[in-house]
Every structure is written in structure tokens, then in C-alpha cells.
Chain A
Amino acid sequence: MQSYSTRLFLLAPATVWFAAMLVLPLIVVFVFSFGERAAAGGYVPALTLAQYANLPARFTAFKNTMTLAPLGTLAALIVAYPLAYFLAVRASPKWRTILLVMVIVPFWTSILIRTYAWIFILGGRGIPNLLDMIGIEGVRLINTPLAVLVGIIYGYLPLMVFPIYVSLEKLDKRLLEASADLGARPWRSFLQVTLPLSLPGMATGCMLVFILLMGEFLIPAMLGGGKVFFVGNALVDLFLQSRNWAYGSAVATTLVVVMLVTVTLYMRLMSRGANQRDDVGIF
């Protein structure tokens, strides 16, 4: 057993890092959110709630984020699950490694460049052009919410695939055999054995994707043409264009609070679900 001081010593680097890189900046943002914009932009100290009172001016950004983030998470889950299932259960071990690498390889390229490629795929000379050739005219994809959703699914897919893959991969195959022995058809075995057991992977994947999506600004800006606006884009604008640090801080603080509340609710829901399953397991 380590002594108290050794433990303290070993924890110190992480604690200092945590304080300096997370807690301190958050405090700064919180304090700034009660300030005012300096004459030429920036921040001057003040004690006012004016910035928070002005929050409705960014209502659409919050609405877009709170719609497209859950929607994108769900869409990524729907696309990722069959893929992860195939990789973990169906693919032969020889192919599995190759296919897994193929999921990862695109991540070696910057997300900017990959998203830029989507501008061409969704632009007038891409998919709409092909549709035009087979007689479907006037389809517009780029700079629409749909384009943003496609970009989100593409960009976040690996983050969703891997946790699900891991939970499916370590799934005890004997449980499926038992299920079959007891007369369950494959579909029923999937619904009652595989799916519940992969729930932790799905929960982790959803959390990873959802939290990152809440702060997303790149994909909406690139594939939404500056028209599909997330809170992330509002923040970029407030700090890098209109230089209203106080208002930007208020928006950022609000986003953090919204995120905390959402994630807490989500975790509550998940742990309750897990408890219920345990109950079922016992009886």
C-alpha cells in the first residue's frame, strides 16, 4: 500500500494539468461572460447579465445544434452498427484486420481535406450531376442541412464503430448457442442477446459522438456554406470576427451547461437501463 504522500505525489501532474488546462480556462470563460465588449473588440471587465439577456439572438444556432447533434448521433449509430456487427461477428479473422485498418486509414488524413472532398461529391458536378444524367433534375445537396448530416455521419463513423465493435467482439458466443438451444431464431437471439449486450458499446459511441458534435463547427461551415449554423460557428464568429469576447463567453458557458445537463440525463437513463437489465438477469 502506498503512503498518502506518494499517492499525492503521483497524482500531482494530472491534477496540475487538469487545473491549468481545464478548470482555469473554464473559470476565465465564466468570468468573461459577465463582462463587456471593449470599444475595438475584446473584453473589458464588468458585472452585467446583458450578455446572457442577449442569448435569444443565437437561438437558431442552439436549435440547429440540438437538432442535428442528436440526429447525427442516431444516424451514425444506424450506419455504424451493421458495420461493427459485420466486422466483429461475420468477417473472417484474416479479413477482419484488413477491414479494421480500412476504417482507420481515412483518419490519417486531416478532417479538413476529407470534408473538402465532400464539397466536390455533393457539389453541382458530383452526385447531382449523376442524378441529372438519369433524369432526376434540380437536386441540390451542398450547403443544405442534409449535406451537413452526411458530413457528420462520415466524419464520426469510426468513433461510433469502434466502441460497438469492441463490445460485440468480446461477446460470449456460448450465449448465442444457448439461445439457439432454447429455440430462439437468429433474429430473436440478436434482439434479446446480442443487442442488449452491445448496449454499453452503443452508449459509449453515442456519448463520444454526441459530445463532440455539440461543439462541431467545421462540417457545418464547410458543407453548410455558412448557412447551417451551429453554436460552434457562432462562437468562432464571436471570437474571430465580431470580437465580442464577453458575449462569446456567455454563449460558451451556456453551451457547457446545456451539454452537462444533457449528458447527465443521458447517463442517468443509461445506468437505469443497466440496472433494469441486471434485475432481469437475476430473476
Chain B
Amino acid sequence: MSKNDTPITRQKFIEELLRYKRGSISRRHFLGVTGLGTATAVMAAAMPGLRPRPAFAGEIGDRVVLATWPNYHDESNFEAFTKATGASVQVNVFGSNEEMLAKLQAGGSGWDVFVPTNYTITTYVGEDLIEPLDTSKLPNYKADAFEPRFSDAGTVGGKLYAVPKNWGTTGYVVNTKHTKGKALTTWKEFWDITKTDFSGRTMVHDYQLTTIGNALKYFGYSFNSVKENELADAEKLLLEVKPHLFAINSDYQPSLRNGDAWMSMCWTGDGKQLNNDMPEMAYVLGTEGGEIWSDYYAVPKSAPHRDAAYALIDFMLDPAVNAKEVKAHGYPVADSRTNALLPKELLEDPILYPAKELLDALEFGAAATLTDPNRAELLARFKAA
């Protein structure tokens, strides 16, 4: 096993160590396991030494709680925010939109800002869990700066509920050292190779939308299908593949980096981050299609620190801050002002901006998939099998 890993250089080691430090252990772990994000917040609050100390307690309070996705921010931006406002940023990381919705439905999440994906926003509005944004508190938000297809899901019934964070795709990342020179290009190959050469080396998301969606793609069905017979096919494939999986987890970078896993379903930025550090990591969009998505910032109705929430969102929408974010996490933005600040090679990067014919095959997630009881139960059954 170790033969497959090149010896780690000292510099690499330090880099990896810093990376682990950036995503704190408890967060990663919790994400991987349960998504009990609030517990993380409790833990962080219980260990004052771990919490960044605000220079002063400003007008917006001393903290803001952000629920977001793994490897999705530049920590130094949070530090700058704390320095500027006095509010420290507590981050809870989640691996699926379902977890976020479940937390908000259960109540008492304590979140001020969270990052829902395009297709979930109508459900949050329908369930009365988020409130329309007061744009007067978001001077950095300029609606016409955003590409409409990545920003229009934030508006429901003519009211603005969420502002765009990043967009991206869901493909897979594969360690090409193990593919014997063969370039993978399809979802069919992803599932087939998992059953053979990659047995015990593949990871899938702990997330119904992508794991079921990309299994549906094996058969050429829609990524968003809720048809019973098509879901039955997907379930059959998933159950067949399950013994060959390394893990079911949405936080896949650690296992891919240490060589335990060779391939995983993967979001744009994770693909970019992995490829930056390990050029043998190739990011693949299945030619059959898959998911294109756009994430947003939104404020739950129950937000305890509302002023801090607006301050944080506005801070993150500042093109200079946003550009720093993109450079750190490698997810594209739909904001033309931010793109103007980014280096040309990033704007032409094939991982961030895949070829048109690959993009054209992708689908945005559909609201029905989030609430469909069959899809939810299918994934739970697959995991429990």
C-alpha cells in the first residue's frame, strides 16, 4: 500500500499539517460522521482557547455562526472579518443539504448564516425557515453583477432570499497513478471500475442528490429522477457497489490525500485543491451529465445574531474578499466584479470552467429531489444495508 505513495517531502508534510489545522479535527470528523454541526459549535464554545479572540466586542456582537460546506473558505478572510468587526466566526461544516434542512427544521440550530444550494431555497421559503434579505444592509450586493443562471434561484416569489456564493459542478476525482494510463470519462466507468480494479478504493458522497443522481446517470436517466423504476435501478447498482466502496463520506480529501482512497465523487473546488497539490488527481465530469449547482448565502429566521449575519455576508461579497476566497478554495463565482480581479489562468482553468459540451449535459438539482421521500429513504437504506 505504501508503495503507491511517494515519500512525503518535508515541505509537503508541513503543507498537509497546515491543511489539517485549517479544517479543525472536530469539524471534519463531525461532518464525516453525523453532521451534528451544533455539537461542534458547542464544543468550540466550550473551548475558549480555540476560539479566535475578538480584538474588541463591536456593535454586531462578539460572534457569528456560519453553517457551510467542507473546504469552502479562506480562513484568513474570517480572521480579517473578526479584526474588522470584533465578531469571531464559528464554522459548522455539513456534507449535505438534507442535514442543513434537518437542523433548521428541528429548531435551535443557532446559525446566523448558512449556505444552501440552488434547488433547496424554495423549500426553505415554503417551510418558513428563511427570511427575505434586506439589501440595504448588503451594500456589496449588486444584482446585475451576477450571471442570472447562478443567481436567480435566490429570488422566490419576487423576493430576494439568498445571494450567490459560488457555483460549480459535481464530478469525480481519480488518482491517475492507479488507472494504468487509462483516462476515465464517464459515470459508467466510475461505477464499473469501482466493482473491479478500484474495489475498496472509491468514495461516494453521504448525500442523496449526488450519490443517487450519479447512479441514475449510469443508466442514462435524469440526475433528478424521482421515478420509482429508475430509482429502483439506481438502488440495485448502489447495493451492488457498496461492498466495493472505501467509504460513504462527503469529506473525502483526507482519504484521497493519504492514499487510502483512489477515487471519489467530488465538487469543483475539492478537485482543484487536490489537483493543485497532487497533479495526478484528475477531475472528471461524466459525459452522461450530472450536476451543476450554485450555492447561496441565506439567513435563517431563527438567526440569533442577525446584524452579524448581514455584516458577514456583505464582507464576503466584497469583490476583493471574494477573489481571495476563490483563490483559496477553487470554486468559480458568478460575480463579474470578482472575476475582474482573478488571474487569467484561473478563469481559464478546465476544472473550474469545463468544456461547453460537458457543461451542457449537466442539470441543476430539482426541488422535488430534496423533499421526495423515496430518494431520502433510498439513501438511508443503501447506507444501512
Contact = CB atoms under 8 A, between A and B. Distances in A.
Given A240-B35, A242-B377, A243-B105, A39 B371 contact: yes
Interface in A114-130: 115-116, 123-125, 128-129
The 9 closest A-B CB pairs, nearest first, are A225-B247, A242-B376, A226-B248, A221-B33, A124-B260, A241-B98, A129-B2, A240-B102, A40-B371
A124 B98 contact: no
A187 B259 CA distance: 49
A240 B26 contact: no
Contacts of B379: 241-242
Contacts, number: 140
B313 interface: no
B102 A239 contact: yes
A6 B377 CA distance: 53
Nearest to B123: A40
Contacts of B138: none
B260 A37 contact: no
Interface string A42-61: 10000000000000011011
A41 B2 contact: no
A142 B98 contact: no
Interface stretch (A66-74, A148-156, A227-235): A227-235
B336 interface: no
B371 A227 contact: no
A121 to B, nearest CB: 12
Interface of A: 37, 39-42, 57-58, 60-61, 110, 112-113, 115-116, 123-125, 128-129, 132-133, 137-140, 142-143, 217-218, 221-222, 225-227, 229, 233-234, 236-244, 247
Given A225-B248, A226-B248, A133 B26 contact: no
B26 A110 contact: yes
Given A129-B1, A225-B248, A234-B384, A243 B376 contact: yes
B105 A42 contact: yes
Interface residues of B, number: 49
Interface of B: 1-3, 5, 25-26, 29-30, 32-36, 43, 96, 98-99, 101-103, 105-106, 123, 126-127, 200, 206, 208, 242, 245-249, 255, 258-260, 370-371, 373, 376-377, 379-381, 383-385
A42 B123 CA distance: 13
Contact of B1 (A58, A110, A137): A137
A227 B255 CA distance: 15
A226 B206 contact: yes
A247 B383 CA distance: 16
A39 B127 CA distance: 10
B376 A241 contact: yes
A150 to B, nearest CB: 16
B380 A125 contact: no
A102 to B, nearest CB: 23
Most interface-central of A60, A128, A138, A143 (chain B CB within 10 A):
A143
